[in-house]
Amino acid sequence: MTAPALTARPPLAARLRWAAADGLTLVGRELSRLRQEPGELIAALIFPAVMVVLFGYVFGSAIKVPGGGNYREYLMPGLFVMVSFTSVMAVTLRVATDASRGVMDRFRAMPMARSAVPFGQAGADLIHGVLALVIMAATGLIVGWRAHRGLWPTAEAFLLLLLMRHALGWAGCYLGLVVRNEQTADQFVPLVFPVTMLSNSFVPTGGMPSWLQAVADWNPVSAATAACRQLFGNPGAPAAGGDGLAWPLAHPVTATLLWSIALIAVFAPLSVRTFQRRGR
């Protein structure tokens, strides 16, 4: 007599529900951890507001906006993108801290979906991103920034920022699993700032040397910043048709979507696979 197959895999829909439920549980874990360490959350929310005031008033009197306009309106899309990009190192640090303290090993010993841990980290960071955008947008309104194209394009811009942040959250999760050491991850934090600065976020790229301008124009930070300027109707938005512009700046919304999809397609499976293999 043949024994029943007790190890048969459950249907795909059941596995997806299981992974989603476990992932949401871990999102809740990250949020509860912040309640126990409110200083981390407060610092993360104060940082965007400080950036608005610091860059807006320090650079505002020294930089001329191409085509004219208020520099703080030119600046705000760049700051939105900068904060979204710096989140990659925050996720890297949190994941590396959990790995170095043995938390990841305990997760592997539990009957949970292997994709739940990376999903939980990226999902929790997305909630942090919503709070940061709210704080930054409120501060921007106080200093004179406005969105001029109406409700739907404004919502599109913020959704695009959150999609990019979510994609970067997967990248941060993978880096944290690879590094596995919070001290090493902390040393990587300053490396994000050159990426955000070498772009059109704070200054026009037209005054850069030709080789450096090419790097800045193809930087995904520049594409995301140009997309937000276009959707918000802020100064510095790419001209219709994009004549003479690099392709990412001529089609910034499409370029940002493609960057985000590519990051998720690469780092989501890498994160899950790395989490699985670290336990072997």
Domain count, the chain: 1
Task: Tell me whether residue 11 is in a domain.
Answer: no
6 domain-assigned: no
Do residues 87 and 166 lie in contact, with contact meaning Cβ atoms separated by under 8 Å?
no
Give the pTM. 0.85
d(CA 229, CA 252): 10
In angstroms, the CA 82 to CA 96 distance is: 22
Cβ atoms 62, 203 nearer than 8 A: no
Residues comprising the chain, all counted: 280
**Residue 265 in domain:** yes
Q: Counting beta carbons within 10 angstroms of the beta carbon of residue 7, is it exposed (0 to 12), middle (13 to 18) or buried (19 or more)?
A: exposed
Q: Which of 29-38, 42-51, 52-61 has the lowest mean pLDDT?
A: 29-38
Domain limits at 134? 23-278
* Residue 123 identity (one-letter amino acid): G
| Of 39-48, 83-92, 254-263, the least confident | 39-48
Give me the amino acid identity at 6: L
Domain annotation covers residue 2: no
- Report the mean per-residue pLDDT for the chain: 82
Residue 6 structure tokens: 């007790």
Q: How confident is the model at residue 254, as a pLDDT? A: 95
Does any domain span residue 18? no
